[in-house]
Protein backbone atom coordinates (compact mmCIF):
# COMPACT_ATOMS: atom_id res chain seq x y z
CA UNK A 1 0.00 0.00 0.00
CA UNK A 2 1.36 3.50 -0.84
CA UNK A 3 0.34 6.86 0.55
CA UNK A 4 -0.73 9.71 -1.69
CA UNK A 5 1.65 12.61 -2.18
CA UNK A 6 -0.68 15.13 -0.50
CA UNK A 7 -1.12 12.98 2.66
CA UNK A 8 2.67 12.60 3.09
CA UNK A 9 3.22 16.35 2.88
CA UNK A 10 0.52 17.01 5.52
CA UNK A 11 2.15 14.48 7.90
CA UNK A 12 5.61 16.05 7.52
CA UNK A 13 4.16 19.52 8.12
CA UNK A 14 2.47 18.34 11.36
CA UNK A 15 5.76 16.87 12.64
CA UNK A 16 7.65 20.10 11.85
CA UNK A 17 5.05 22.14 13.76
CA UNK A 18 5.30 19.80 16.78
CA UNK A 19 9.13 20.05 16.81
CA UNK A 20 8.96 23.86 16.65
CA UNK A 21 6.52 23.89 19.57
CA UNK A 22 8.84 21.63 21.67
CA UNK A 23 11.87 23.83 20.91
CA UNK A 24 10.01 26.92 22.07
CA UNK A 25 8.87 25.14 25.24
CA UNK A 26 12.48 24.09 26.04
CA UNK A 27 13.62 27.71 25.68
CA UNK A 28 10.84 28.85 28.04
CA UNK A 29 11.83 26.24 30.64
CA UNK A 30 15.50 27.21 30.40
CA UNK A 31 14.58 30.86 30.98
CA UNK A 32 12.45 29.92 34.01
CA UNK A 33 15.28 27.76 35.41
CA UNK A 34 17.81 30.60 35.05
CA UNK A 35 15.39 32.97 36.83
CA UNK A 36 14.92 30.51 39.73
CA UNK A 37 18.70 29.95 40.08
CA UNK A 38 19.21 33.70 40.26
CA UNK A 39 16.61 33.96 43.04
CA UNK A 40 18.15 31.05 45.01
CA UNK A 41 21.67 32.50 44.79
CA UNK A 42 20.52 35.77 46.35
CA UNK A 43 18.20 34.19 48.91
CA UNK A 44 19.21 34.62 52.59
CA UNK A 45 16.22 32.84 54.11
CA UNK A 46 16.44 30.38 57.00
CA UNK A 47 15.88 27.39 54.71
CA UNK A 48 19.13 28.04 52.84
CA UNK A 49 21.87 25.43 53.51
CA UNK A 50 25.52 26.45 53.74
CA UNK A 51 28.61 24.21 53.71
CA UNK A 52 30.46 23.96 57.03
CA UNK A 53 33.10 21.69 58.56
CA UNK A 54 31.62 19.65 61.39
CA UNK A 55 33.35 16.89 63.44
CA UNK A 56 35.77 16.06 60.65
CA UNK A 57 33.18 16.18 57.83
CA UNK A 58 32.10 18.78 55.30
CA UNK A 59 28.33 18.94 55.69
CA UNK A 60 25.43 21.04 54.45
CA UNK A 61 23.72 22.39 57.56
CA UNK A 62 20.37 24.16 57.61
CA UNK A 63 19.17 26.49 60.36
CA UNK A 64 16.73 23.77 61.38
CA UNK A 65 19.68 21.57 62.34
CA UNK A 66 19.45 19.01 59.54
CA UNK A 67 22.79 18.09 57.97
CA UNK A 68 24.19 15.77 55.34
CA UNK A 69 27.74 14.95 54.19
CA UNK A 70 28.77 16.78 51.04
CA UNK A 71 31.32 14.75 49.06
CA UNK A 72 31.43 17.33 46.27
CA UNK A 73 33.69 19.79 48.12
CA UNK A 74 36.86 20.13 45.97
CA UNK A 75 39.98 18.70 47.61
CA UNK A 76 41.92 21.95 47.21
CA UNK A 77 39.34 23.72 49.40
CA UNK A 78 39.76 21.26 52.29
CA UNK A 79 42.15 22.35 55.01
CA UNK A 80 44.71 19.60 55.66
CA UNK A 81 47.97 18.99 57.49
CA UNK A 82 50.79 16.45 57.35
CA UNK A 83 50.96 14.30 60.48
CA UNK A 84 52.72 11.24 61.89
CA UNK A 85 50.55 8.69 63.70
CA UNK A 86 51.95 6.29 66.32
CA UNK A 87 50.11 2.98 66.16
CA UNK A 88 49.77 -0.15 68.31
CA UNK A 89 48.41 -3.44 66.98
CA UNK A 90 48.16 -7.05 68.10
CA UNK A 91 49.20 -8.90 64.97
CA UNK A 92 47.95 -12.45 65.53
CA UNK A 93 44.88 -12.29 63.26
CA UNK A 94 46.41 -10.12 60.53
CA UNK A 95 48.28 -11.05 57.35
CA UNK A 96 50.98 -8.50 58.10
CA UNK A 97 50.95 -4.71 58.22
CA UNK A 98 51.00 -3.94 54.50
CA UNK A 99 47.88 -4.09 52.35
CA UNK A 100 49.98 -4.48 49.18
CA UNK A 101 50.09 -8.29 49.49
CA UNK A 102 46.29 -8.23 49.00
CA UNK A 103 45.81 -10.69 51.86
CA UNK A 104 43.06 -9.60 54.21
CA UNK A 105 42.79 -8.57 56.90
CA UNK A 106 45.88 -6.37 57.09
CA UNK A 107 46.58 -3.64 59.65
CA UNK A 108 47.05 -1.05 56.91
CA UNK A 109 43.67 -1.75 55.29
CA UNK A 110 41.92 -1.43 58.67
CA UNK A 111 43.63 1.92 59.30
CA UNK A 112 42.52 3.31 55.94
CA UNK A 113 38.98 2.07 56.49
CA UNK A 114 38.94 4.09 59.73
CA UNK A 115 40.41 7.15 57.98
CA UNK A 116 37.71 7.00 55.32
CA UNK A 117 34.94 6.31 57.83
CA UNK A 118 35.91 9.36 59.88
CA UNK A 119 36.40 11.52 56.75
CA UNK A 120 39.94 12.36 57.83
CA UNK A 121 41.48 11.00 54.62
CA UNK A 122 41.96 13.72 52.00
CA UNK A 123 41.84 12.27 48.49
CA UNK A 124 43.27 8.80 47.84
CA UNK A 125 46.43 7.15 49.20
CA UNK A 126 48.68 8.73 46.56
CA UNK A 127 47.32 12.21 47.21
CA UNK A 128 47.80 11.71 50.97
CA UNK A 129 51.60 11.28 50.54
CA UNK A 130 51.42 8.15 52.70
CA UNK A 131 54.51 6.40 54.15
CA UNK A 132 55.08 3.74 56.83
CA UNK A 133 58.10 3.06 59.02
CA UNK A 134 58.07 -0.74 59.12
CA UNK A 135 56.42 -3.51 57.14
CA UNK A 136 55.91 -6.17 59.79
CA UNK A 137 55.08 -9.75 58.76
CA UNK A 138 52.02 -11.86 59.41
CA UNK A 139 51.44 -12.33 63.14
CA UNK A 140 53.97 -9.70 64.29
CA UNK A 141 52.72 -7.02 66.71
CA UNK A 142 53.78 -3.45 67.43
CA UNK A 143 53.52 -0.89 70.21
CA UNK A 144 55.18 1.90 68.23
CA UNK A 145 54.65 1.62 64.47
CA UNK A 146 54.60 5.03 62.73
CA UNK A 147 52.86 6.17 59.56
CA UNK A 148 52.65 9.63 57.96
CA UNK A 149 50.03 11.19 55.69
CA UNK A 150 47.91 14.26 55.02
CA UNK A 151 44.69 14.36 57.04
CA UNK A 152 41.83 16.82 57.28
CA UNK A 153 42.49 19.73 59.65
CA UNK A 154 40.22 22.06 61.61
CA UNK A 155 42.78 24.89 61.26
CA UNK A 156 42.93 27.14 58.21
CA UNK A 157 46.75 27.44 58.39
CA UNK A 158 48.15 24.46 60.37
CA UNK A 159 51.67 24.88 61.75
CA UNK A 160 54.26 22.32 62.87
CA UNK A 161 55.83 24.82 65.27
CA UNK A 162 52.99 25.42 67.70
CA UNK A 163 49.63 23.97 68.61
CA UNK A 164 48.51 27.23 70.25
CA UNK A 165 45.49 28.36 68.24
CA UNK A 166 42.17 30.03 68.87
CA UNK A 167 40.48 26.88 67.58
CA UNK A 168 41.78 23.47 68.78
CA UNK A 169 42.75 20.77 66.28
CA UNK A 170 40.76 17.58 65.88
CA UNK A 171 41.48 14.92 68.48
CA UNK A 172 42.87 12.51 65.90
CA UNK A 173 43.63 9.80 68.49
CA UNK A 174 40.11 9.72 69.90
CA UNK A 175 38.35 10.04 66.54
CA UNK A 176 40.30 7.22 64.87
CA UNK A 177 40.19 4.85 67.86
CA UNK A 178 36.40 4.98 67.81
CA UNK A 179 36.48 3.62 64.24
CA UNK A 180 39.30 1.04 64.63
CA UNK A 181 38.93 -2.63 65.69
CA UNK A 182 39.88 -3.54 69.29
CA UNK A 183 43.33 -4.92 68.32
CA UNK A 184 44.49 -1.68 66.62
CA UNK A 185 44.90 1.66 68.39
CA UNK A 186 46.41 5.07 67.60
CA UNK A 187 48.63 6.09 70.54
CA UNK A 188 49.49 9.62 69.47
CA UNK A 189 49.94 12.06 66.61
CA UNK A 190 52.48 14.72 65.74
CA UNK A 191 52.61 17.51 63.13
CA UNK A 192 55.57 16.92 60.79
CA UNK A 193 57.09 18.80 57.82
CA UNK A 194 56.00 17.89 54.30
CA UNK A 195 59.38 16.26 53.53
CA UNK A 196 59.03 13.84 56.47
CA UNK A 197 59.07 10.14 55.53
CA UNK A 198 58.07 7.53 58.10
CA UNK A 199 60.63 5.04 56.77
CA UNK A 200 63.60 7.13 55.71
CA UNK A 201 63.34 9.74 58.49
CA UNK A 202 63.49 7.02 61.16
CA UNK A 203 66.78 7.08 63.10
CA UNK A 204 66.30 3.81 65.02
CA UNK A 205 63.94 0.87 65.46
CA UNK A 206 63.68 -1.33 68.53
CA UNK A 207 62.32 -4.87 68.59
CA UNK A 208 61.45 -7.15 71.49
CA UNK A 209 61.11 -10.93 71.28
CA UNK A 210 59.43 -12.68 74.23
CA UNK A 211 60.11 -16.30 75.21
CA UNK A 212 59.92 -18.69 78.16
CA UNK A 213 63.27 -19.45 79.74
CA UNK A 214 62.74 -23.20 80.25
CA UNK A 215 66.23 -24.78 80.16
CA UNK A 216 67.84 -22.18 77.90
CA UNK A 217 71.28 -20.83 78.76
CA UNK A 218 70.62 -17.08 79.00
CA UNK A 219 74.28 -16.23 79.58
CA UNK A 220 75.41 -17.99 76.38
CA UNK A 221 72.63 -16.33 74.38
CA UNK A 222 73.56 -12.90 75.74
CA UNK A 223 77.23 -13.37 74.84
CA UNK A 224 76.27 -14.58 71.35
CA UNK A 225 73.72 -11.82 70.83
CA UNK A 226 76.20 -9.07 71.63
CA UNK A 227 78.26 -10.27 68.64
CA UNK A 228 75.51 -8.79 66.46
CA UNK A 229 76.31 -5.28 67.73
CA UNK A 230 78.06 -3.17 65.11
CA UNK A 231 77.89 -3.02 61.32
CA UNK A 232 77.73 -6.45 59.66
CA UNK A 233 76.54 -8.19 56.51
CA UNK A 234 73.40 -10.01 57.70
CA UNK A 235 72.65 -11.97 54.51
CA UNK A 236 72.89 -15.24 56.51
CA UNK A 237 70.32 -13.89 58.99
CA UNK A 238 67.48 -12.85 56.69
CA UNK A 239 65.33 -13.78 53.74
CA UNK A 240 67.00 -12.38 50.62
CA UNK A 241 65.03 -10.17 48.27
CA UNK A 242 67.58 -9.70 45.49
CA UNK A 243 65.07 -7.96 43.22
CA UNK A 244 64.76 -5.02 45.62
CA UNK A 245 67.67 -5.26 48.11
CA UNK A 246 71.31 -5.20 46.98
CA UNK A 247 73.04 -4.28 50.23
CA UNK A 248 72.66 -6.53 53.29
CA UNK A 249 74.83 -4.50 55.64
CA UNK A 250 72.96 -3.24 58.69
CA UNK A 251 73.99 -1.66 61.99
CA UNK A 252 72.80 -3.08 65.32
CA UNK A 253 73.41 -0.65 68.20
CA UNK A 254 72.03 -2.55 71.18
CA UNK A 255 71.32 -6.14 72.27
CA UNK A 256 70.21 -7.54 75.61
CA UNK A 257 68.71 -10.70 77.09
CA UNK A 258 66.70 -9.99 80.23
CA UNK A 259 64.03 -11.63 82.45
CA UNK A 260 60.56 -10.06 82.64
CA UNK A 261 58.35 -9.70 85.70
CA UNK A 262 55.94 -12.36 84.44
CA UNK A 263 56.29 -16.05 85.30
CA UNK A 264 54.09 -19.13 85.04
CA UNK A 265 54.37 -22.31 87.11
CA UNK A 266 58.00 -21.55 87.90
CA UNK A 267 58.98 -20.71 84.31
CA UNK A 268 60.35 -17.18 83.79
CA UNK A 269 59.28 -15.02 80.86
CA UNK A 270 62.30 -13.41 79.17
CA UNK A 271 62.94 -11.07 76.28
CA UNK A 272 65.53 -10.26 73.65
CA UNK A 273 65.78 -6.50 73.05
CA UNK A 274 67.59 -5.30 69.93
CA UNK A 275 67.92 -1.85 68.41
CA UNK A 276 69.30 -0.73 65.07
CA UNK A 277 68.95 1.81 62.30
CA UNK A 278 67.11 -0.68 60.06
CA UNK A 279 66.47 -4.41 59.75
CA UNK A 280 66.20 -6.81 56.82
CA UNK A 281 63.27 -9.05 55.92
CA UNK A 282 62.93 -11.74 58.68
CA UNK A 283 66.27 -10.61 60.19
CA UNK A 284 65.14 -10.57 63.82
CA UNK A 285 63.42 -13.95 63.61
CA UNK A 286 66.49 -15.48 61.98
CA UNK A 287 68.79 -14.06 64.66
CA UNK A 288 66.50 -15.40 67.41
CA UNK A 289 66.35 -18.86 65.79
CA UNK A 290 70.14 -19.22 65.92
CA UNK A 291 70.27 -17.82 69.48
CA UNK A 292 67.78 -20.49 70.60
CA UNK A 293 70.10 -23.19 69.19
CA UNK A 294 72.94 -21.68 71.23
CA UNK A 295 70.73 -21.49 74.32
CA UNK A 296 69.83 -25.17 73.90
CA UNK A 297 73.51 -26.05 73.75
CA UNK A 298 73.40 -27.57 70.25
CA UNK A 299 75.41 -24.72 68.66
CA UNK A 300 78.42 -22.83 69.98
CA UNK A 301 78.60 -19.08 70.57
CA UNK A 302 81.24 -18.86 67.82
CA UNK A 303 78.74 -19.83 65.11
CA UNK A 304 77.58 -16.19 65.08
CA UNK A 305 81.06 -15.02 63.99
CA UNK A 306 81.16 -17.66 61.26
CA UNK A 307 77.76 -16.74 59.84
CA UNK A 308 78.56 -13.01 59.91
CA UNK A 309 81.73 -13.71 57.88
CA UNK A 310 80.18 -13.87 54.41
CA UNK A 311 83.56 -14.61 52.78
CA UNK A 312 83.90 -17.73 54.86
CA UNK A 313 80.17 -18.52 54.71
CA UNK A 314 78.79 -17.03 51.46
CA UNK A 315 75.66 -19.21 51.53
CA UNK A 316 73.04 -19.27 54.29
CA UNK A 317 72.51 -22.67 55.95
CA UNK A 318 68.91 -23.86 55.88
CA UNK A 319 67.13 -23.40 59.21
CA UNK A 320 63.62 -22.55 60.41
CA UNK A 321 62.76 -19.04 61.57
CA UNK A 322 61.63 -18.39 65.13
CA UNK A 323 57.86 -17.99 65.57
CA UNK A 324 56.40 -14.62 64.57
CA UNK A 325 53.83 -14.32 67.41
CA UNK A 326 56.25 -13.25 70.23
CA UNK A 327 57.90 -10.56 68.06
CA UNK A 328 57.02 -6.91 68.74
CA UNK A 329 58.17 -3.75 66.95
CA UNK A 330 58.41 -1.78 70.17
CA UNK A 331 59.30 1.69 68.95
CA UNK A 332 60.42 3.78 65.96
CA UNK A 333 62.56 6.79 66.84
CA UNK A 334 62.64 10.16 65.07
CA UNK A 335 64.34 13.49 65.68
CA UNK A 336 62.10 16.44 66.61
CA UNK A 337 58.89 14.39 66.55
CA UNK A 338 56.85 14.63 69.75
CA UNK A 339 53.61 12.69 69.77
CA UNK A 340 50.48 14.29 71.24
CA UNK A 341 47.60 12.58 73.02
CA UNK A 342 44.79 14.42 74.80
CA UNK A 343 44.01 13.53 78.40
CA UNK A 344 40.61 12.18 77.38
CA UNK A 345 42.06 10.00 74.63
CA UNK A 346 44.82 8.77 76.97
CA UNK A 347 42.28 7.77 79.62
CA UNK A 348 40.29 5.88 76.98
CA UNK A 349 43.45 4.09 75.81
CA UNK A 350 44.37 2.98 79.32
CA UNK A 351 40.86 1.72 79.97
CA UNK A 352 40.84 -0.15 76.66
CA UNK A 353 44.22 -1.82 77.17
CA UNK A 354 43.30 -2.86 80.71
CA UNK A 355 40.07 -4.40 79.44
CA UNK A 356 41.84 -6.26 76.61
CA UNK A 357 44.55 -7.50 78.97
CA UNK A 358 41.95 -8.91 81.38
CA UNK A 359 40.13 -10.57 78.48
CA UNK A 360 43.30 -12.34 77.31
CA UNK A 361 44.06 -13.40 80.88
CA UNK A 362 40.61 -14.98 81.11
CA UNK A 363 41.29 -16.88 77.87
CA UNK A 364 44.59 -18.07 79.37
CA UNK A 365 42.76 -19.34 82.45
CA UNK A 366 40.46 -21.41 80.23
CA UNK A 367 43.44 -23.09 78.56
CA UNK A 368 45.01 -23.74 81.96
CA UNK A 369 41.77 -25.32 83.13
CA UNK A 370 41.77 -27.54 80.04
CA UNK A 371 45.36 -28.50 80.81
CA UNK A 372 44.40 -29.55 84.33
CA UNK A 373 41.57 -31.66 82.95
CA UNK A 374 43.81 -33.64 80.63
CA UNK A 375 44.29 -37.31 81.46
CA UNK A 376 47.32 -37.92 83.71
CA UNK A 377 50.51 -39.16 82.05
CA UNK A 378 51.80 -42.51 83.27
CA UNK A 379 55.42 -43.15 84.26
CA UNK A 380 56.05 -45.12 81.06
CA UNK A 381 54.87 -42.18 78.91
CA UNK A 382 57.05 -39.74 80.89
CA UNK A 383 60.14 -41.85 80.29
CA UNK A 384 59.23 -42.13 76.58
CA UNK A 385 58.95 -38.32 76.29
CA UNK A 386 62.36 -37.89 77.92
CA UNK A 387 63.89 -40.38 75.49
CA UNK A 388 62.31 -38.61 72.51
CA UNK A 389 63.78 -35.26 73.61
CA UNK A 390 67.22 -36.85 73.90
CA UNK A 391 66.88 -38.32 70.40
CA UNK A 392 65.90 -34.93 68.95
CA UNK A 393 68.96 -33.33 70.55
CA UNK A 394 71.13 -36.17 69.27
CA UNK A 395 69.96 -35.81 65.64
CA UNK A 396 70.55 -32.05 65.53
CA UNK A 397 72.53 -31.27 62.37
CA UNK A 398 75.10 -28.50 62.98
CA UNK A 399 74.29 -25.33 61.04
CA UNK A 400 77.56 -25.35 59.13
CA UNK A 401 76.95 -28.95 57.99
CA UNK A 402 73.48 -28.30 56.60
CA UNK A 403 72.41 -27.78 52.98
CA UNK A 404 72.63 -24.14 51.98
CA UNK A 405 70.43 -21.68 50.14
CA UNK A 406 71.65 -20.05 46.90
CA UNK A 407 74.10 -17.20 47.40
CA UNK A 408 73.28 -13.58 46.56
CA UNK A 409 75.32 -13.84 43.35
CA UNK A 410 73.53 -17.03 42.27
CA UNK A 411 70.12 -15.50 42.95
CA UNK A 412 71.03 -12.33 41.03
CA UNK A 413 72.32 -14.32 38.03
CA UNK A 414 69.09 -16.32 37.98
CA UNK A 415 66.99 -13.16 38.19
CA UNK A 416 68.63 -11.34 35.24
CA UNK A 417 67.30 -13.64 32.46
CA UNK A 418 63.78 -13.27 33.90
CA UNK A 419 64.09 -9.48 33.92
CA UNK A 420 65.33 -9.51 30.30
CA UNK A 421 62.37 -11.66 29.27
CA UNK A 422 59.88 -9.24 30.80
CA UNK A 423 61.55 -6.12 29.37
CA UNK A 424 59.78 -4.75 26.25
CA UNK A 425 61.82 -4.75 23.05
The residue ranges of DSSP E strands in 265-336, in sequence order, are 267-276, 327-333
Q: Which residues pair with 62 in a beta bridge?
A: none
Q: Is the sign of the CA dihedral 368, 374, 377, 378 positive or negative?
A: positive
- As a whole number of angstroms, the distance between CA 221 and CA 346 comes to 38
- β-pair type (204-212, 267-276): antiparallel
Contact 305, 116 (CB under 8 A): no
Sheet order of strands, 57-61 included:
50-54, 57-61, 67-69
Quote the Cα angle for 229-234-239, to 5°: 135
What's the CA gap between 117 and 29, in Å, rounded?
Answer: 41
Strand partners, 263: 268
Q: At CA 328, angle to CA 324 and CA 332, rounded to 5?
A: 135
Beta partners for residue 59, in sequence order: 52, 69
Q: Identify whether the C-beta of residue 348 lies closer than 8 Å to the C-beta of residue 177.
A: yes
Q: Environment class of residue 404 by beta-carbon count within 10 Å: exposed (0-12), middle (13-18) or buried (19+)?
A: middle
**Do 70 and 51 contact (CB within 8 A), yes or no?**
yes
Helix-strand-coil percent breakdown of the chain, rounded to 5? 35, 20, 40
Query: Which residue, 285, 174, 200, is CA-closest to 234?
Result: 285
Eight-state DSSP code of residue 236: G
Cis peptide upstream of residue 105 (ω within 30 degrees of 0): yes
Q: How far is CA 84 from CA 204, 330, 337, in A?
A: 16, 16, 8
Q: Which residues pair with 256 in a beta bridge?
A: 273
β-strands 141-152, 327-333 pairing: parallel
What are the residue numbers of the active site?
137
Amino acid sequence: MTMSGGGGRDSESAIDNELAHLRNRVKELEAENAKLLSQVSSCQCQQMEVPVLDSGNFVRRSRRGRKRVDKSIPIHLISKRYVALKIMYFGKRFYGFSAEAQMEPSIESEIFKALERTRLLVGDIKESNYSRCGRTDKGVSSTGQVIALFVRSRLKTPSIDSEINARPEYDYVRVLNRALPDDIRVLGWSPVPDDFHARFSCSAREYKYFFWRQNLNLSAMDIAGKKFIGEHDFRNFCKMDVANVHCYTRRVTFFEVSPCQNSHEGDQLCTFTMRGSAFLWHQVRAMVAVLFMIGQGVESVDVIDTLLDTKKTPKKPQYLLASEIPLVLRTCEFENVNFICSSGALESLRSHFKKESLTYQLESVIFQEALRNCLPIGNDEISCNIEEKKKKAAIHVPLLSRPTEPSYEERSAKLKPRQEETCPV
